[in-house]
Amino acid sequence: MDRPGSRPLSPVLEEKKRDRDPKVRKGLRESNQIETKLGPESDTDTNADDDDDDTLPLEIDVHGLRAKVYLNCADVDIVPARYLEKADRSPILKRTPWIFRTAKDGRCVNIAKWSKVDIRYRGVFKTLKKVPMFSGGLFGGSTCRISSAADEHEEVSTGWRTSTDSRSGWGSGSCSASSKSSSSKVDFEEAVKAQGQAIYALLDEVLSMLGIKREAESHREMFFLRPRLVSCQPEYWTGYRVKHRDSPLTAGSVSLDYEPSRGMPRAVMPVTTTSEPVVSLKRTLEGEFKLLLSQLLINVHRLSPPGDKIPDQEAFLIGLHGSKLHILRGIFPGQKTSKLWSGRHNPREVQSTNRLFRRRGGGSGNGPEGQDGRFYSKTNLERFMEQVEWNQLSNPDNEVHPRSFQVLGSCEYDLWLKCDFGAAMKMLAGLIMYLMSGQARCGVLQDVFERYPYDEETEPESDVGGDAAGMEKAAQKQKEIEEEEERLRKREREKKEEEKARLTEFEAIKGSMKDKIGGLTEGLRQPWCDWVWEDKGCDTGERDGEEALIVGGPY
């Protein structure tokens, strides 16, 4: 099977070309011209992988395991089509974020003036302004500016420089160059942390708005997905007890949690970010493949199957490179992992059609209940096609080598662009719906859905907002928000006018009081001679009389 030709690329790519008008393209060109480049050594390191970037699939080798990585795959290669359709109908995509109401590029919007009513994604973009800016996408090769979007306009005035610009100032002294280098390093480390915070804020927004929870032992106990901002270096295996601990640090994870809490949440999907100013595509994909292998180990360990009967598994990973998000999907067929673990594969009993294609209702087939229970109902046909697609993905070109796996990568979504942000939200929402449907081949989730079965056929259309009532509700919510914003703006204008009128009145009173006091003082003004007088004569007469009586005395 020829993977590159099996599916067309995602239609999101064409949408991006349509939505980027000349003004946006001009702004992007200008921003790229402003960005500085790293030195010749860094350029050589980055360009060393250019030839590899142009050949698909990319082959990654990790301790004898080989991964064929296909980048820029169609969305349906990452998330099954019916969950993307559900996500497209969900309320999360019906309302436009505030930052994209009037602009297609969020970098042109003043985030300080964010709406006080519609605060969705505000924390995401405020944190996204602090992430490092790279001169290109990860899949196309990139170098870092070691600065953030928040300081884009300050770079000229404050003198932030890359290694290229710092060489021109070496003549002023090595101490100055050393201090600038250490300052840039600290700034980049802070920007790297901001990437993890941004993706955490984004996942928290999406999961909160979807609000997908499944019932556990009772209606009072629920399990759900929750993002975690915890960094770790997970272990992975490349064979039975062949352990390795050289995986990169994660920036967080999406974990399975319970309410009430049941102890430590279990990781379902790792999250990674770019942590180096100079990145290599092949080196980055090697690290991400190691994280996929570590997630595979967690899934298999949770299921605890016999070594020769490991079921088919898949693992997902979310990556953030600056402001560009991508999703990887690792395909791990059971026959390969079983041979890798034990040297042989004894497949389990084939799933019966009653288990793979569930029946609902007991009607004769004439009523709605009977139609839902028919073998070739819409849901059963969709599951059948998903199984066919899985078989195609797990056996490309009849590749049966047990140490060769396939990794599918989505295109990169620039979260600052309206079209990319919408496509990323659709992918994330569809992925979360798929994981919480009970159909995902992830051991951690398979274990919990085995204990607490969930039939997605019983899920009403209103739960995903796909019915007319859900769409009407989303439109009504958007209208209420806009009306509340208008009332708030009107109230602020009235408040400013009242403050201005109060200030004018105070100035008028102050001026009138000054005039009154001034008039009173003018009436009391008299020449100094009217109240300063000479009393020498009076004093002399009195003194002479006293002297005559006292000094002279009687004769």
* CA angle (77, 81, 83) in 5-degree steps: 115
* 343 and 479, same domain (yes or no): no
- Check: CB of residue 358 under 8 Å from CB of residue 455: yes
CA-to-CA separations, 31 to 21, 155, 170, 244, 411, in angstroms, rounded: 16, 12, 27, 42, 22
Residue 528 lies in a domain: no
Predicted confidence at residue 494, as pLDDT, reads 84
Three-state DSSP state, 274 = coil
Question: Which pair of structure tokens corresponds to residue 443?
Answer: 């051991």
The last residue of one of the domains, among 466, 482, 498, is 466
| Same domain, residue pair 108 and 201 | yes
Q: Omega into 402 within 30° of 0, i.e. cis?
A: no
- Residues sharing a CB contact under 8 Å with residue 40, sequence separation 6 or more, in sequence order: none
Half-sphere exposure of residue 45: CA atoms within 13 angstroms, side-chain side? 15
- 378, 498: one domain: no
Do 439 and 508 belong together in one domain? no
Dmax (CA) of the chain: 158
User: Tokens at residue 357, please?
Assistant: 């294609």
C-alpha angle 470/475/457, rounded to 5°?
Answer: 15
Same domain, 483 and 453: no
The reply to whether 541 falls in a domain is no
pLDDT in tens, the chain (555 residues): 444 444 443 444 444 444 444 444 444 444 444 343 333 333 334 444 444 444 468 999 999 999 999 999 999 999 999 999 999 988 888 889 999 998 999 999 999 999 888 899 999 999 999 999 888 888 874 444 444 444 443 333 323 333 333 333 333 333 344 445 566 777 888 899 999 999 999 999 999 999 999 999 888 899 999 999 999 999 999 988 889 999 999 999 999 999 988 888 899 999 999 999 888 899 999 999 999 999 999 999 999 898 888 999 999 999 999 999 999 999 999 889 988 888 777 776 544 444 455 444 444 444 444 444 455 667 777 777 877 777 777 776 666 677 889 999 999 999 999 999 999 999 999 999 999 999 999 999 999 999 999 987 777 665 555 556 666 777 777 778 888 888 888 888 888 888 888 888 888 777 776 666 555 555 555 665 665 555 555 555 555 555 555 555 554
Q: How many domains does the chain have?
A: 2
Are residues 232 and 211 part of one domain? Answer: yes
- Domain membership of residue 89 (yes or no) is yes
Map tokens 């007469």 to a residue. 541
pLDDT recorded at residue 300: 94
Please report, for residues 121, 239, 342, 464, the alpha-carbon distance to residue 362 in angstroms, rounded to integers and kept in the order given: 46, 47, 44, 27
The SS3 assignment for 147 reads strand
Residue 238 phi, psi dihedral angles, 5° rounding: -115, 15
Backbone angles phi, psi at 211, to 5 degrees: 60, 40
Rounded Cα gap, residues 254 and 202, in angstroms: 12
Specify the pLDDT at position 460.
Answer: 64
pLDDT given at position 375: 57
* Beta-bridge partner residues of 327: 318
Provide DSSP, 462-497.
GGGT-SHHHHHHHHHHHHHHHHHHHHHHHHHHHHHH
Residues 341 and 418 reside in one and the same domain: yes
Residue 43 is predicted with a pLDDT of 39
Residues 440 and 479 grouped into a single domain:
no
3-state secondary structure string across 384-405: HHHHHHHHHHHCHHHCCCCCEE
User: What is the structure's pLDDT at 500?
Assistant: 85
Residue count (the chain) = 555
> Taking the mean position of all CA atoms in its chain, how far away is CA 297?
26
Nearest-angstrom CA–CA distance, 265 and 232: 14
Q: Report the C-alpha gap between 72 and 411 in whole angstroms.
A: 4
Domain edge (last residue) among 480, 497, 512: 512
Tell me how far apart the alpha carbons of residues 309 and 354 are, in angstroms, rounded to a whole number.
Answer: 21
| 83 plus 183 within the same structural domain | yes
Exposure string (b/e) for 471-486, b if CB count within 10 Å is 16 or more? eeebeeeeeebeeeee
Instruction: Find the domain containing 476 and state its range.
Output: 470-512
Q: What is the DSSP string of 349-382?
A: PPPPHHHHS-------SSSHHHHHTSTT-HHHHH
Residue 252 included in any domain: yes
Distance CA 89, CA 205 (A): 17
Q: Identify the three-state secondary structure at position 326.
A: strand
**526 occurs within a structural domain:** no
In terms of domains, do 309 and 448 share one? yes
CA dist 280 and 338 (Å) reads 32
Q: Can you read off the two tokens belonging to residue 151?
A: 């300081």
Q: Is residue 162 included in any domain, yes or no?
A: yes
Per the domain annotation, does 539 fall within a domain?
Answer: no
For residue 176, the model assigns a pLDDT of 42
Distance CA 147, CA 134 (A): 9
Q: Taking the complete model, does pTM exceed 0.85, yes or no?
A: no
Does residue 459 form part of some domain? yes
| Same domain, yes or no: 454 and 487 | no
Whether residues 413 and 452 share a domain: the answer is: yes
> Looking at residue 380, what is its pLDDT?
74
